[in-house]
Structure 1
Amino acid sequence: MIKNMNILICDDSVLVHKSITRSLQACSNANFFYAENGEEGLEHLKNIDIDIMFLDLTMPVMDGFSVMKSLPVRDFTTTIIVLSADVQCTAMERSLALGADYFLPKPFDHKQLIELSQRLGLVFDGVQHSVTGAHFISEHPIDNIREIANIALGRGAAIISDHLGDFIKMPLPNVAFMKSSDLSMAIADIRNDNELIAITQRFVGGGIHGEALVELHGQDIHVFGEKLGFSQTDEYKNEVVIDIANLMVSSFLVALSEQILIPFSVRQPIVLEEYMNLHHTQCETNTYFTIEYTYKAEILDVECDVLFIMDSHSLTIINDKVMESLH
């Protein structure tokens, strides 16, 4: 007799809930449960015999590392499959040390996911079964782009971590809209803060037009740069800061390009100047699409705040590419 299996998908992304369920919908013995953060996931584990848990590492309220540190919560063995955009080697090592059975990087390979699920006892009969309680389907562009931004951040963090030899704390990306007036105020605040160094870099590709704004602060900026292989040749210039900013922007755009299949070209990064106010006084009614996040080194005193600014047409292009990949 085939055993019914309870599957918990613990991830803050609606897109991931949808994608995993679609991959496993041909299972005849799967019951699906969903959690949007670690606390919700633990509640499911306390009350339900969960056979397999797909666990994200980067979530609000409680992250995946904290979930694994809290286990077990009852006398039942759950197979833990970490499914994460944080693909740093250290993230994988820490996950396995905390009890994860498998680690799969995002975006996951559907064939690989099915093969692993079959080994764990799920039975595929080729019929697309209805999924009870699946209230997760969302076509909102912000939800879709937040997940691909999360994957791009994970790839970027891995690149920087490999160069740095230090763990990068994975951020949660903030994907939102920003009015022109709010952007003007943010830039003015940056200019008035003498402790911040801000770099701007424009990029284009496939009809997407945008600008990245990178702020660096902390006592170890130049140590950070040296560990990444950058050197300062003139103490009155900002070569190291510019090189770091360029790495932050290019690593994200390369990972984004791989997902939406649009190549990007970037201009030379430069220090934010007075003339680079994007002429907001002439277009106060404009609204920009933004992706914002902060990278923090675990050991060094350095933070990098990154803000990608794009027009609304760029949002449409990116979302269309995401939907193509889903269907």
Structure 2
Amino acid sequence: MATSVLICDDSKLARRQLARSLPEDWDIKVEFAENGYDCIDKIKSLMPEVLFLDLNMPQMDGYEVLEAINEQGLNVLTVVVSGDIQPNAHERVRELGAIDFIKKPCDSKKLAEIIEHHGIRDKAIRESLVHKLGEQLDSELRDVYQELTNVAMGQAGDLLARLLNVFVKLPIPNVNVLEVSELHMALQSIDSSVSTSGVCQGFIGGGVSGEALLIINDSSFKEIASLMNYTGELNDKVELELLMDISNILIGAILTGLSRQLDMPFSQGHPVVLGQHGDVAELVKANKGRWQRTLAIEISYGIEHHNINCDLMLLFTEDSLKTLKYKVAYLLEE
């Protein structure tokens, strides 16, 4: 049976161009929507399985369409197609439930890769993806995870501040359920233009497991060494020791903070070096087999008046989501 596909774009040219870019050997039935309101109406009436959605449209834009899909419980796999390629746009559409993002003008090869990667030609896989989208974090649960992380993050920042005698800038944690391809994109958005080093450490406890990933800009090591009163020559061995020291502080403290709040002790594995002096894309490519669908909590630490930047991501396994939700249920009770 042909796969039902809906293309929504306010440009007739863009709609036709995207339709021509879809794989010729994919058995599909294509319908078109001219704006966001038309899109929602046709999702309800036609019940398409796949939606290709533009972001920048008058009256009701793509973000509002994604919000309406969530609010009204409409079941459709959405790939965003837009000229807005800034990382914040990618992040926002993922939060709203889009499974992927492709920039305009649409490239048929890249489009085919996305379709192949998500397996959306296969009806069983499409149904599985729709089911998983239904498990995305609701706003209340995201707020709870964010607040738990805020407390634990503050404890980790305090330890780092005391060790280095500095003021640590604490961000608002970013909490999302991500597929491995989306995690790849999120990590690359950290900063693909700089050299980085990374370490990963597994943890497990009470039906919850995952990995903590720390990525540090290589430009930070000189100032970290200075703040730790190291006066010798910096080399790969010394920088690795500094990386391990910082990761032990931040990862250990934040897991301890979460453990206390969840009343769930975590056992930590041995840290594993993901790589040194490479870009984030290389770290991800070399280690992408380690991560699948995951609850990802991202924290970007900075130190005032110093060129020190590091990103910490807590990656909880998909199997941990049910246990975590149960553990924090009492926090949602009124």
Q: So what's the TM-score if we normalise by structure 1?
A: 0.50
| Greater percentage in helix | 2
Q: So what's the TM-score if we normalise by structure 2?
A: 0.49
